[in-house]
Amino acid sequence: MPSASSLDFGQYPDLLLRGPARVAFVTSTPLSVAEGSGTYVGISQLARSLQERNIRVQMVAPAWWSPSFTVKRMLFNILVAPRLRAGRCDWVLGFDLDGFHYGRRKTAPYIASIKGVIADELTNERGAVRAALCLQAALEKLAVQRADVVVATSRYSRERIVQAYAVPASRIVIVPELIDLRVWAATNPPPSEAQAGPPAVLTVAHMYPRKNLGVLLNAYALLRDASVPFQAWIVGEGPCRRAWERLRDDLGLTDRVSFLGSIPRRDLVDRYRRAAVFCLPSRQEGFGIVFLEAMACGKPVVAARAAAVPETVAEGETGLLVDPEDSQGLAHAIGGLLRDPGLRRAMGEAGRRTVERYRADRVAASFLATVHSALKGHPSAQRLTHTSPGVSLVAGGEPVGSASAGGGG
């Protein structure tokens, strides 16, 4: 097979004119909402949106089990690289560190889409988890340095990529996350979806330390002590769940705060619609898809003034932001919204208007245009394409929408 440097993009001007017809999505993120969290949601929604534009998407993901997620990611990337090089895709789109080994010798333009900067996320971890993430961050650094174009979801993430991975900002484009409003928006929800009583505060998170739910639980204790009527629903799983459940019990909040685990999509939509307020005080977010989901359902957001959150949640317009370690401030913000239905309604309506910017078809079009434009301007990308159209078939992959790809979004 010829090396990447021997390929001449100028021989294939049609790709620059028409954009991709076939895209390989390379990901070792688990293909379910329960395990893949917001990363899977963003990947699956982009795949569906591209398919609706008649672009064939081939999902390339490991179908085997490993006791170590980090080892699984490394082996998957080493094993899949030859298959990607032998495939007939116009673009190879790797998510986070995935694609780093393919990037050593590319046969089609390689785009690294960073959903969460691992070097940033690991700062909230300790021990063996931090060590594993340090290794993954080193591989993600290889991925972005070898990619022809790097896609970040926020200005914050772009800055962290530049700082942590020594990639010039000029090689990084920003395309936000997207949301399928057909799933979430409900202009006139039926009476059965009326708000719960007492008013409910909803949290949806994969329970890593950076989600900061200990501070939220302490804020709930302050609200209880102030005799504010409320109930709290916490949806999701993760390594911190048991510790946070013990903290809830120690604070005497068992009758107020419910940990619901992973729930079906229909039930999740129902919880969003019946909640009065959405709250997630993360210390670190590369974007925050759950904030879009809350806004799509017309809910005001309370969150931390940290990382990329202020780019997604307009302070004073679609929600209220507080310092990430300020339980008192968090309690004040939540309590203020619970006591003021008019403010909740105004912020919820502003959220519905704002979330239109992130509509799936709109962001998918922006993704294609932005990446295509960046590839045309990148010298190394201009040397990479395939010589024959053919069928986009990557060994071991499954088309998005098949049973193995899972649901979600």
pTM of the model: 0.86
pLDDT (0 to 100) of residue 401: 33
Average pLDDT over residues 274-288: 96
- Spatial contact of 111 and 371, defined as CB atoms under 8 Å apart: yes
Reported as type and span, the H/E element at residue 39 is helix 33-51
pLDDT (0 to 100) of residue 183: 84
pLDDT (0 to 100) of residue 390: 26
Please indicate whether residue 15 or residue 34 has the higher confidence score (pLDDT).
Answer: 34
Map 82-133 to HEC letters: HHHHHCCCCEEEEECCCCCCHHHCCCCCEEEEECCCHHHHHHHCCHHHHHHH
pLDDT (0 to 100) of residue 4: 36
pLDDT digits (tens, 9 = 90+) for 213-253: 999 999 999 999 999 999 999 999 999 999 999 999 999 99
Domains and CATH numbers, the chain: 4-178+359-405 (3.40.50.2000), 181-357 (3.40.50.2000)
What does the block give as tokens for 386?
A: 């395939």
Backbone angles phi, psi at 257, to 5 degrees: -115, 125
Reported as type and span, the H/E element at residue 223 is helix 213-225
